[in-house]
Amino acid sequence: MEVSFSREAQMLRRGHGESFHGEGILAITKALLQSGVTYVGGYQGAPVSHLLDVLVQSRAYLAELGVHVEACSNEASAAAMLGASIHYPVRGAVTWKSIVGTNVAADALSNLASPGVVGGALIIVGEDYGEGASVIQERTYAYALKSSLIMLDPRPELDHMVRLVEQGFALSEAASTPVMLQLRVRACHVRGGFPCKDNVAPAISALHLLEGPAEFDYAKLSHPPLTFRQEKLKSAERLPAARRFIVEQGLNEVFAGKRDGLGIIVQGGLHNSLVRALQQLGLADAFGTSELSLLVLNVTYPLAPDQIRDFCLGKRAVLIVEEGQPEFIEQEILALLRRSDVNTPVHGKDVLPMAGEYTVEILARGVADFLDKHTADISLADGRAWLARNAARRDTVAAQLGPALPARPPQFCIGCPERPVFAALKLAQQDIGPVHIAGDIGCHAFATFEPFSMGHSILGYGMSLASRAGVSPLIRQRTLAVMGDGGFWHNGLLTGVQSALFNGGDSVLVILKNGYTSATGTQDIISTPDDEVKERLVDKQESVVDRNRTIERTLAGIGVKWLRKVNSYSVEEMRRTFDDAFTTDFAGLKVIIAEGECQLERQRRVKPWRAALLKAGRRVVRVKYGVDEDVCSGDHSCIRLSGCPTLTLMKSSDPLKVDPVATVIDGCVGCGLCGENAHAATLCPSFYRGEVIHNPGVWDRLSATLRHAAIRLMQPA
Ligand code: SF4
Ligand code: SF4
C-alpha cells in the first residue's frame, strides 16, 4: 500500500515510561505487542484496516521481536491461522471487518472453537454497524453464541481497551476458548492516551523456534466422535471458567450512582454514548459520572449470572442498552432473572429501537422514556427540550436544503480506470441489448449509482460469477459478472471461475484489474505492480499493471480458453470486446481483463513527484481536458456516459443557450475518458485535450507565440 504509516510504526516501539497518544485502533495494535503476541494476521477492511496496515509496514520491527505478521488472502485464511494456538502455547491475533469477514471465516472459526486453544487467540472484529457502515447490518454476537466464543466489547477509553486486550489473551487461555474483541467504528477512532509498557518478545517465535511438532493428540481435532465431547466441554468447563475469570478479574465494571434504585446495563462499546445522553438529560457530570448506577459489560458473552442478579436485585427498574437485533443480551438477562426469582422490571427494546445505531439522541430518548415509567423525581424537561430542538432543527434544514440539493451518492474517484469500463458497457448494451449484471464488492459497486445504475445483485466479495450460475440457464442472453482483482484473489477464482469452468457456464466475466484491493484502502495483492513498473507508470496512463501477468497465467492454467485483455481507458475497444464476448460462438466462460492502475494510488505517486519537479523549477506538463462552451449543445450526454465529478455544468455565457453547458473543472487528472467517450459514442466535438505547462522552456514560449499569432490571423477583426 502506498499510504505511509511510518509515524504510527514508530509509536509501536515505545516502552515503559513513555506515553502513547492516538486512535483506539492503534492502541489495540500496541497492546498486542505488549501482550507478547507471537503471530498476527488478518484481512483489511474498515474500521480495522489500520491495525493490519501498520503491522505490515512495521515488519522490520516485528522481526526484531520475533513476531510473524501475515496479510491473509481472506478472512477464512486468517481464522485458520489461529490454529497455531490449538497445540502450541503461543498467542495469536487476527483481524477483519464484520459481519462480512466473520461470515467468510465461519467454517474455520467453528473448527477452532470446538477443540479450543492452549495459547491465547484473539479475533479483533471491526463491527461495521450503523449510519457509516458499508455492509449488511447484522450482529457478530450471533457467532459468539453459536460457537461459544467469548466476546469482548470494551468501553472506548484507550487505557481500558489496552487492558482488555491483555486480559483477553489471559481469558482465552483460562477458558481454552478463542476470544472476539468487538470494536465499533467509534471505538476504533476514539482518541486518547495511555502509559506504555515494554513490548514483550514472545518465548516461542521466529527467533526462538520449537524443536519439533506437537505430539499427535486426537482430542485437538474437530472430528467426530470428539466433537460430541468438545460440545459438552464448552458448557461444562470452558464457559464456567470464563465466567470465573470475568468476575475475579473485574472485567465488567459497576459504577454506582447516587440514584441507586435505577440501573442501566450497557454494552461496553456504548458506554460513552450513553454517558453523553445522560449528560444531556442532566444525569451525568462533565467527567462522565452518572447519577444512575451502571453495569458496563466489557464482556458481553458469556454473561456472569451472579453479577447480573446482584446488580438487578433491589432495584426499582433496570434498562438494558443493547444495539442491534435480535436482543440476545436482554433475552438472556430476562431468563436468568426469572430463574433466580428476581422480579426487577427490565426494559430494553420496548423503549429503545430494535434496529439501527444507538446515537446519543436515540439513547437520550430511550432513557427518558424509561425514567418516565419509573420515577417522577427527575425533571427531564431540559433533556426533552434539547431533543425537541434537535428534531425541529433537522426539519428546518431538510425543508431548506431538500429541494435545493440533490442526493450525492458515492462515486468513482476522478480518473478511476473502472468508470470507462461501465461507459463501454453502457454503449455495448445499445448493440447487444440489456444483460443481467452480477455485481460484486469493490469500488466497481459505485456503478450501481447514476449515471450507470448497473448491477442486479451483490452476494459477497468475489461472488459475482458464482451468483449468476442460477440466472444463466434461465435467460436468453449471456450474463455478465463484474469482479475486481481484489475479489478475484479473495474468493472469486475458486467460487466463481473454477465452478463456471467445471459446470460449463456460458457467461462473461470482466475482471477490473487495477492492481490493488482498492476499496479497503489500496492494500497490495499478489498482482500489485512492482516498484519498477510503478516508477515507469509515474506519469503515464499505461495499461500494464502486473508485468508477471499473474491473473492471466492463473486463468490460462485453470483452463480459461477465451481471454482478452483491454486497456480500461480504451472505451471503443472495450465496447467491441463486450460485443464479441456476448456474440461469439464460443460457449464456455469468457473473461475480459480490464487493466488500468487505480487512479488513487497513481495520484499518490504522481503528485509528490510533480511537486518535487516544480520545486526544482523543472518543466512539468499536466494534461487536462476541457469543453468548448461555444460548441457544447447542452444535451449533457457526455455526463450521462461518464459521471466524473470534474465533468460538470456551468451557466452558459451565450444568452441564447438556456440550458447549462458542460465544463471540466480543475480537478481533472487527464485520464482521457472524456475524449474516449466522445469518440466511442460519437458525441458533439466540444471536448479538447489541453496541456498545462509549468516552467515552460524557450521552445514552449516560441510555439505558444506562433500559435496565438496564427489564431489571431484566422479570427475576424
Ligand atoms: S480507489 Fe482506485 S479503483 Fe477505487 S474508485 Fe478510486 S481510483 Fe477507482
Ligand atoms: S478526462 Fe474527463 S473523465 Fe478523465 S478526469 Fe478529466 S474530466 Fe474526468
> Rounded to 5, what percent of the chain is helix, strand, coil?
45, 20, 40
Ligand nearest to the CA of 413: 1
CA distance 90 to 83: 10
At 531 the pLDDT is 81
Give dist(CA 687, CA 684) in Å, integer.
8
Ligand 2 atom having least distance to the Cα of 669: 5
**pLDDT confidence bin for 541, thresholds 50/70/90:** low
Residue from 416, 422, 671 to probe ligand 2 pocket by mutation (most atoms less than 8 Å from CB): 671
* Ligand nearest to the CA of residue 2, numbered in listed order: 1
State which H helix or E strand residue 103 sits in.
Answer: helix 100-113
Query: In Å, what is the CA distance from 711 to each residue of 688, 699, 715?
Result: 16, 18, 6
> What is the whole-number distance in angstroms between the Cα of residue 521 and the centre of ligand 1?
10
Pocket flag, ligand 2, residue 646 (CB < 6 Å): yes
Q: Whose CA is nearest to atom 2 of ligand 1?
A: 598
The rounded Å distance from CA 298 to ligand 1 centre is: 38
In the predicted model, is pLDDT for residue 324 greater than 90? yes
- Ligand 1 midpoint to CA 626 (Å): 22
Q: What is the mean pLDDT of residues 357-379?
A: 96
Statement: residue 592 has pLDDT above 80: yes
Ligand 1 atom nearest to CA at 512? 3
With a pLDDT cut of 90, the percent of the chain lying above it is 86
Is the Cβ–Cβ distance between 298 and 271 less than 8 Å? no
Distance 518 CA to ligand 1 centre (A): 6
Cell 442532566 found at: 282
Residue pLDDT, tens place only, 673-702: 999 999 998 888 899 999 999 999 999 999
Alpha carbon nearest to ligand 1 atom 8, residue: 416
Atom of ligand 1 nearest to the CA of 446: 5
Query: Which ligand has the nearest atom to the CA of 444?
Result: 1
Least reliable range by pLDDT among 3-7, 111-115, 193-197, 564-568 = 3-7
From 35-39, 52-56, 329-333, 404-408, the region with the lowest mean pLDDT: 404-408
Q: Confidence band (pLDDT; 50, 70, 90) for 539? A: low
At residue 671 the predicted structure's pLDDT band, cuts being 50, 70 and 90, is: very high
- Of the candidates 396, 430, 490, the one whose C-alpha atom is nearest the C-alpha of residue 641 is 430
Pocket test for ligand 1, best of 2, 440, 443 (most atoms within 8 A of CB): 443
80 versus 398: the higher-pLDDT residue is 80
Position 385 scores a pLDDT of: 97
pLDDT at 613: 92
Average pLDDT estimate for 589-605: 94
Q: What is the pLDDT of residue 4?
A: 75
CA 416 – ligand 1 centroid, Å: 5
Residue 424 has pLDDT above 60, yes or no: yes
What is the average pLDDT value for the chain, to the nearest integer?
Answer: 94
Helix (H) or strand (E) holding 21: strand 19-23
Ligand 2, atom nearest to 642 Cα:
3
Q: How far is the CA of 415 from the centre of ligand 2 (A)?
A: 6
**Substitution candidate for ligand 1 out of 418, 511, 545, 646 with most atoms within 8 A of CB:** 418
Q: Residue 629 pLDDT more than 60?
A: yes
Q: Which of 2, 49, 412, 642 best tests ligand 1's pocket when mutated (most atoms within 8 Å of CB)?
A: 412
pLDDT of residue 319: 98
pLDDT at site 66: 97
Determine if ligand 2 sits within 6 Å of the CB of residue 423.
no
Average pLDDT over residues 26-44: 97
Among the residue ranges 378-382, 396-400, 479-483, the one predicted with the least confidence is 396-400
Q: Which tens digit of pLDDT belongs to each residue from 270-305?
A: 999 999 999 999 999 989 999 999 999 999 999 999
Contact 321, 333 (CB under 8 A): no
Distance 596 CA to ligand 2 centre (A): 15
pLDDT (tens digit, 9 = 90+) per residue, 549-582?
999 999 999 999 999 999 999 999 999 999 999 9
- The DSSP letter of residue 204 is S
Q: Is the CB of 545 under 6 A from ligand 2?
A: no
State in Å: Cα 396 to ligand 2 middle.
Answer: 37
Measured in degrees and rounded to the nearest 5, phi and psi for residue 160 equal: -70, -40
The Cα angle at residue 362 between residues 359 and 365, in degrees rounded to 5: 145
The Å distance, Cα 643 to ligand 2 centre, comes to 9
Q: What is the pTM of this model?
A: 0.94
Please write the tens of the pLDDT for every residue from 343-355: 999 999 999 999 9
> Which three-class secondary structure state does DSSP give residue 242?
helix
**Helix, strand or coil, per DSSP, at residue 329:** helix
Q: Whose CA is nearest to atom 2 of ligand 2?
A: 674
Residue 593: which pLDDT band, with cuts at 50, 70 and 90?
Answer: very high
Distance 672 CA to ligand 2 centre (A): 6
- For strand 68-71 and strand 39-42, is the pairing parallel, antiparallel, or unpaired? parallel
Among residues 588, 555, 589, 593, the alpha carbon closest in space to that of 577 is found at 593
In the reported structure, the alpha carbon of residue 447 is separated from the centroid of ligand 1 by a whole-number distance in angstroms of 12
Ligand nearest, relative to CA of residue 484: 1
Q: Atom of ligand 2 at shortest distance to CA of 674?
A: 2
* Model confidence pLDDT, tens digit, residues 618-628: 999 999 999 99
- The pocket around ligand 1, CB under 6 angstroms, is made up of 412-413, 416, 418, 443, 514, 518, 598-600
Residue 1 has pLDDT above 70, yes or no: no
Measure 484 CA to ligand 1 centroid, in angstroms: 11
Quick check: 490 pLDDT over 70? Answer: yes
What is the whole-number distance in angstroms between the Cα of residue 414 and the centre of ligand 1? 8
Task: Tell me the three-class secondary structure of 538-577, residue by residue.
Answer: CCCCCCCCCCCCHHHHHHHHHCCCEEEEEECCCHHHHHHH
Nearest atom of ligand 2 to the alpha carbon of 646: 7
